[in-house]
Amino acid sequence: MDKAQQGASKRNAGYHAAEMIKDGMVIGLGTGSTVFFAMERLGERIVKDGLSITGVPTSYQAAIRARRYGIPLSSLDEHPELDIAIDGADQADPDLRLIKGRGAALLREKCVCDAAREVLIVVDPTKMVETLNAPVPVEVLPFASAPVSRRLAALGASPVLREGVKKDGPVVTDNGNFILDCDFGAIMDPESLETAIAAIPGALECGLFTAYREKITVIVGEGKGCRVVSLH
């Protein structure tokens, strides 16, 4: 799939998700290029159709983009329960288990995913895989990055501290933490791995999303239209 085809697929997925949003909803807004297409279409619906919604962004970047599209924003403090969330994924398997976090917003994304009654995951076809095998991002307390890295290595990873682009030193998340990208190879038991990572002191969250399959709908953008995958 070339970049033009991938861009068209992302737009189709994002626009499809935006059309599923109803007036009055409070929605979680994920981080990433496919979600931004959804925001673009939501902005159009606000202007043309008078759509009234409130967004809860998962990152500074998502908040900046949402404001650009005229989407009113709030927070989980004001709305601890969300009607729906729109987010992307690095990978999704047939059981709708996900790897997320390429944009370093995984901790807030998981909080929003947990708060939402329904979750729309928008992807292009390259993100659909039979077995999860992408690096798993782990948000880690800077104070504990070395011991957490050792524990992750004991689980079979090759942890790499994510370095900044156009910035010297590590990526710093919106929460003030570091990201360790952990290559586990093919992940045959994502649920057990997520549980094991969560048990490491100083590992604040990981990019494996295995607990939300029943409320996830994956919208796969294709050249013409979308394919919708869900377990419900």
Domains of the chain as residue ranges with CATH: 3-127+211-230 (3.40.50.1360), 136-206 (3.30.70.260)
Using pLDDT thresholds of 50, 70 and 90, give the confidence band for residue 223.
confident
d(CA 182, CA 45): 40
Average pLDDT of the chain to the nearest whole number: 96
pLDDT tens per residue across span 126-148 = 999 999 999 999 999 999 999 99
Does 100 show up as a binding residue in the annotation? yes
The predicted pLDDT at position 192 comes to 98
Q: Measured between alpha carbons, how far is 56 from 35 in angstroms, rounded to an integer?
A: 13
User: Is 217 annotated as belonging to a binding site?
Assistant: no
Residue 98 one-letter amino acid: L
- Taking the C-alpha atoms of residue 149 and residue 155, their distance in angstroms, rounded to an integer, is 10
Residue 90 assigned as binding residue = yes
5 pLDDT above the threshold of 90: no
Task: Please report the pLDDT score of residue 2 as a whole number.
Answer: 79
Chain centroid to CA 47: how far?
Answer: 27
Which of 135, 131, 109, 111 has the alpha carbon at shortest distance from 122?
109
Look up residue 128 and give its amino acid: M
Counting other chains too, the contacts that 162-168 makes at CB distance below 8 Å and 24 or more residues apart are 162/104, 162/137
pLDDT tens for 139-192 read 999 999 999 999 999 999 999 999 999 889 999 999 999 999 999 999 999 999
Burial state string for 12-49 with b = 16 or more CB within 10 A and e = fewer than 16: bbbbbbbebbeeebbbbbbbbebbbbbbbbbbebbeee
Backbone angles phi, psi at 47, to 5 degrees: -75, -50
Determine the distance from the C-alpha atom of residue 130 to the mean position of all C-alpha atoms in its chain, rounded to a whole number: 19
- List residues bridging with 204 in a β-sheet: none
Q: Which residues are catalytic?
A: 109
Q: Taking the CA atoms of the chain, what radius of gyration do you get in angstroms?
A: 17
